[in-house]
Every structure is written in C-alpha cells, then in structure tokens.
A and B are shown apart, each in its own frame.
Chain A
Amino acid sequence: MKLIITDLTQFHIPIEGEYKLIHPRESIHHCVGCFGCWVKTPGVCVIHDGYENTGFDMGCCQDLILISQCCYGSVSPFVKMVQDRAISYIHPDFVLRKGEMHHKRRYKNVISLSAHFYGDPITDREKETARKLIAANADNYDGQVGQVCFYRSAKELEGITL
C-alpha cells in the first residue's frame, strides 16, 4: 500500500495500485509533545481530529510518499504536523543504528520514503537540506530512501505517476 501525505487540497496526480491519501480536509492540530501516543494509547495520537491514526497507516504501507511545498528545505507545516503526530509509528525505546541513537521499530514493515517537493524558487541549498531531512527521516523510520524530486509548481507534478 502507498501512503501519500500531501498539503495539496486539489489532488490530480495519477496513482498506481492501492493507496491511502492524507491531505488537508479538516484543520489539523499540531503535536503538543505529550507522548500520549506512546504511554496512554500506544500507537494512536490522543488528539482526535481525524489525523490520529497516521502511525497505524504508516505501519501498513510499503511506500510513504510526501508531496509538499518546500519550506526552507523542510516539508510544509501541514505535512510536518502529520509527521509529528505520527511518531507512534516507532517505539519509544532507543536502539543504536549507524552509531547513533534512534527509536526501536513498532511495526515490521520497511518503508521506502520518497518526497516530491514543489516551489519556486527552491534554492540548491534548500534542496540539499531537503535531501538530508528525508535521509534522516528514513533512518529514524528504519526504512529506505526512495526518490527525492523537486518541481517548480504543484501543477508540474500532475505529469508524473505515483
């Protein structure tokens, strides 16, 4: 299953195979750092606004695809808030990987993380930061990095197939 998290409200990108789309249909609350998704309702965010199950959805996917405006080399606030609210994908306990501390897995699936950033202009420096960010995300999800692509506009993305 492909899990697509995007800030696009109008989504016209063709997708092959089974997928779930998370996009801004309702307002999202930001993560408040309570760790309730680890110690109160493990696996589910305690803020019930329609975005509380992303950790579970991530546990069911093979491909996690972020489609987002590029903000300084980061994903946009909406996509980031969805990611921040989904830390229940991982377990609170620490493990060491590549000599650094990361979180243990909760789920067995290995995610391939891709990102499609749009924006004009996206500087070379922002592209470099974005690639580092996605690689760090993949490390923390204990997954793999897929494509990291950049587009001048969201419209340009309609020419690709996910």
Chain B
Amino acid sequence: MKIALINASPKTGRSASASLLADLSAFLSGSASLVEIGLHDATLPGQFLQEPGDIDVLVFACPLYVDGLPGHLLSCLLQLEQAFVTGPVPAVYGIVNCGFYEGIQAETALELFENWCRKAGLVWGGGIGVGGGGGLDQMPSSKNGPKAPVLHALEQLAGEILQKESPQNHYVSVAFPRFLYKLAAQMGWRRSIRANGASPKDLGRTPSAPTPYPPA
C-alpha cells in the first residue's frame, strides 16, 4: 500500500501539521510505503502531478483557517479535482488541527474534504479534528503526556487506513485543562510581542486608517 502524507500547512518548517504527520507515520511505517508531499503554496508541486496514479491513500494534514481549509489548500484541491479521473481511486483521510481547544471546531473543514472527495470521485475515509493545536509541535510524543489523546486518535486512524475502513470523524483535544491552555496561549502572545519590541498592550491596538500600499 502506498500512502501519501500531505502536509498542507503553509509553513515549510515546524508546524502542528508536520508534527501530526510524523506521529501518524510512526504508526504506519513498516506496514505501508510512505511518500511525503508538501502543499505549502497555492500551486501544486510537480511531484504530485507526476505520479498520482499509484497512490492508494491520501492523508491531508492542515491547520484550521477561519473555520475552514486554508485558501492555498482550496486552490490545490481545485487543481487536483481532475487528477484521479483515470486509474485507481485513492481513499482520502484528513487531519485538521485548530488553535482552539475543541477539536469539534474542525468539523466543517473535514466536511469540506468530504465534499471535495465527492466532486473528485474519491473515497472519503474520515478524519480527525484536533483541538489545542497551538502547542502540538512543542509537545513530546509520549502516551503519558498532554499529547496522549491525540496519539491515541492517530494510532486508531492508522489502523483504519491500513484496513481501508471508513469510520466517522473523531474529535480530540490535548490532555491539558482548557483554562491552562488559554492562559499559556495568552502568555505566549505577550512573550512574542515583547520579543518584537512592543508592549503587551499593543496586542489590542487598532490601527489608524491605513496607508494604501504601495505608498503614494
């Protein structure tokens, strides 16, 4: 079985999507041939267009952007709509992480993947909505740590992918109290804005009427 692990985060370096795919690949390795593909831009990489025919499973991982899929990924999905018209029909799975605590907030984004599958003639396998995505790439992949429920869901998804099952979507959050997650996020924003030479008060700044770009 050939599985394409598609990192659809706009970030090319560290990201929650990359971290989730790394964890998933640990559960899949040895049982399938894994191909890593990055969709970090609005244009499909040539790698994807050259050999779509021999891929059995596509696993997309992306962040939740404004309650849906990131704009650059929508652009890629439109370009991919016709890519699988001939040849075997791959199964598609999705992993959507959101900065909010509740994984259920990714429900609509997973539905968009499912609707894309219907339009592209692919088989929707199901997905995971992961809450608490803000800290995922900094958490150890330990089954006793805050990432434990996420790892459990990924392990379950790996089993379903290998069995070619089509379960319902799963929604998980990190094992970390919501009020502490909120506090940690807010401390993080204050640390970041200080590192940029501004004050935490500036986080709530409302800009004055902007100068059109490029300036006259």
Contact = CB atoms under 8 A, between A and B. Distances in A.
Interface of A: 30-33, 35, 38-44, 48-50, 52-53, 56, 59, 71-84, 87, 91-94, 100-102, 104, 106-107, 123, 125-126, 129, 132-133, 136-137, 140
B173 to A, nearest CB: 10
Contact of B189 (A39, A84, A125): A39
A82 B70 CA distance: 11
B148 interface: no
Nearest to B193: A39
A72 B77 contact: yes
Interface string B170-197: 0000000010001001100100110110
B41 A30 contact: yes
B111 interface: yes
Contacts, number: 157
B23 interface: no
B202 interface: yes
- Which are the 5 A-B pairs with shortest beta-carbon distances? A81-B71, A80-B71, A72-B115, A30-B72, A77-B75
18 contacts: A30-B41, A30-B75, A33-B10, A38-B193, A39-B189, A39-B192, A53-B210, A59-B206, A72-B74, A73-B111, A84-B71, A92-B189, A101-B100, A101-B178, A101-B182, A106-B204, A133-B112, A136-B105
B109 to A, nearest CB: 9
B172 to A, nearest CB: 15
Contacts of B119: 72
Interface string B96-126: 0000111001011001100110110000000
B65 A137 contact: no
Contacts of A74: 68-69, 74, 112
User: Do most interface residues of chain A lie in helix, strand or loop, or is the interface mixed?
Assistant: mixed
Contact of B205 (A42, A71, A81, A83): A42
B200 to A, nearest CB: 10
A37 B55 CA distance: 38
A30 B207 contact: no
Contact of B115 (A41, A101, A125): A125
Contacts of A42: 193, 198, 202-205, 207
Interface string B60-83: 000101111111101101100000
B37 interface: no
Nearest to B100: A101
A1 to B, nearest CB: 13
A100 B105 contact: yes
B9 interface: yes
A101 B64 CA distance: 14
A159 to B, nearest CB: 27
Q: Give the one of B63, B75, B102, B214 with max A CB within 10 A.
A: B75
Given A84-B65, A133-B67, A123 B75 contact: no
Interface in B153-179: 178
B42 interface: yes
A35 B68 CA distance: 17
Contacts of A137: 66-67
A30 to B, nearest CB: 4
A46 B189 CA distance: 16
